[in-house]
């Protein structure tokens, strides 16, 4: 527990300091993010905001985690590699979005292929990884009392791969308001770290380090953000959350702690058939020109951005406590 606290605090300080250096550099290099979806709540949103903040806080979080857990930790090393792979997937997406000329953009099928390859690699790595746990068997999912342990077999690998591919998208969808994705991810990582503590303390150190990374990043990403994390950050955080859950078997605590991410993903998925139906009926998609996450509709209804973010924080705090508790009693 002491190592977890130290990792979180050090990473928060280092991440906050690194932001003061990276944000001006990104601004000078014209690495900008423009808010295009939803109704802006202030004229200041017409100004470009430096992007790709994940490039400075994700690597620091990984380095701090490896230092505290030890360079020989197979769990931390594997989790770090998976996190970096998903960060590269997000980076390709960010680079493509920065290109003005559509002919020079990275094709969508290439980005999808890279993301699929990352999921397949995660599937293979998880099947061969040798992570120290209290159980003599792999692919075990701890369930709350009185259910005990559930052996999932190959279904475990499928669940882990689906989570790894969906979590990055979920975090990306939430990353539409200042401080929303970073704060929710920081809280979710704390809950998942507590849940994984009886299974593998090294994974808890990694989760705490990444949570500290998000906390330090929030100093620059809070309301009226001076930088946004970009998909390089959101995909990396999604990969980190999914990998910690997959390595510890704590899928239920992950679903609870990350409810905001899954809720936004579900809202978007439900809009797809509705949008296709309206397009088929009317011949054009005038009613749903864009498929938007729920927080954009909340803004359109007049709810101010800080209230939306605060509400998400409060809800995630309760869910984080519940996730941590279920993880501890399930192990």
Highest average pLDDT, of 85-89, 137-141, 143-147, comes from: 85-89
Beta strands in the chain (DSSP E): 32-33, 49-50, 140-142, 149-151
What is the average pLDDT across 60-84? 83
In contact, 206 and 65? CB cutoff 8 Å: yes
pLDDT greater at residue 211 or residue 30? 211
Highest average pLDDT, of 11-20, 108-117, 199-208, 313-322, comes from: 313-322
In contact, 250 and 199? CB cutoff 8 Å: yes
35-49, 115-129, 190-204, 225-239: range with lowest mean pLDDT: 35-49
| pLDDT of 194 higher than 70 | yes
Q: What is the pLDDT of residues 238-296, one digit of tens each?
A: 999 999 998 888 999 999 999 999 999 999 998 888 777 777 777 654 555 577 888 88
Residue from 108, 55, 82 nearest 228 by CA: 55
Q: Work out the percent of the chain whose per-residue pLDDT is above 90.
A: 34
Residues whose CB is less than 8 angstroms from the CB of residue 149 and which lie 6 or more positions away in sequence, other chains included: 135, 140, 141, 142, 143
In contact, 215 and 105? CB cutoff 8 Å: no
Q: How many domains does the chain have?
A: 1
- Whole-number Å distance between alpha carbons of 147 and 26: 51
pLDDT at residue 325, as a whole number? 94
The tokens for 218 are 């929030």
In contact, 310 and 179? CB cutoff 8 Å: no
What average pLDDT is seen over the chain?
A: 84
What is the average pLDDT across 125-129? 77
- Give the residues across from 141 on adjacent strands: 150
Q: Which domain holds residue 281?
A: 2-330
**To 10 degrees, the CA torsion angle through 301, 304, 307, 312?**
60
In contact, 172 and 207? CB cutoff 8 Å: no
Q: What is the CA radius of gyration of the chain?
A: 19
Q: Work out the percent of the chain whose per-residue pLDDT is above 70.
A: 88
pLDDT at residue 186, as a whole number? 95
pLDDT greater at residue 152 or residue 287? 152
The tokens for 303 are 């709810």
Q: CA-CA distances (angstroms) from residue 107 to 86, 92, 220, 255, 284? A: 18, 10, 31, 32, 25
Q: What is the pLDDT of residues 22-50, one digit of tens each?
A: 988 888 887 876 554 444 334 345 567 88
């Amino acid at each position: 527990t002491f190592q977890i606290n130290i990792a979180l605090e050090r990473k928060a300080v280092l991440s906050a300091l690194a932001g003061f250096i990276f944000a001006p550099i990104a601004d000078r290099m014209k690495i900008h993010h423009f808010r295009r979806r939803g109704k802006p709540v202030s004229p200041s949103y017409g100004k470009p905001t430096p992007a790709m903040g994940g490039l400075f806080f994700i690597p620091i979080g990984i380095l701090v985690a490896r230092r505290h857990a030890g360079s020989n930790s197979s769990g931390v090393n594997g989790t770090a590699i998976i996190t970096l792979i998903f960060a590269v997937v997000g980076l390709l997406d960010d680079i493509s979005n920065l290109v003005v000329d559509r002919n020079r953009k990275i094709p969508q099928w290439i980005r999808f292929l890279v993301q699929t390859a990352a999921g397949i690699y995660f599937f293979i790595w998880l099947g061969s990884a040798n992570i120290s746990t209290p159980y003599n068997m792999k692919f075990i999912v701890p369930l709350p009392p009185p259910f005990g342990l559930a052996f999932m077999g190959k279904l475990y690998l499928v669940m882990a791969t689906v989570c790894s591919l969906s979590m990055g998208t979920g975090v990306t969808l939430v990353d539409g308001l200042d401080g929303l994705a970073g704060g929710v991810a920081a809280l979710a990582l704390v809950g998942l770290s507590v849940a994984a503590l009886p299974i593998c303390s090294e994974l808890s150190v990694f989760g705490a380090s990444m949570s500290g990374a998000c906390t330090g990043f929030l100093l620059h990403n809070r309301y009226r953000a001076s930088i946004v994390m970009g998909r390089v950050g959101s995909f990396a955080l999604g990969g980190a959350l999914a990998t910690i859950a997959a390595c510890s078997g704590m899928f239920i605590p992950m679903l609870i702690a990350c409810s905001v991410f899954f809720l936004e993903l579900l809202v978007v998925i439900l809009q797809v058939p509705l949008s296709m139906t309206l397009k088929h009926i009317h011949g054009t998609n005038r009613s749903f020109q864009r498929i938007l996450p729920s927080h954009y509709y909340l803004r359109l209804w007049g709810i101010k951005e800080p209230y939306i973010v605060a509400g998400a924080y409060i809800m995630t705090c309760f869910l984080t406590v519940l996730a941590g508790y279920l993880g501890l009693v399930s192990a």
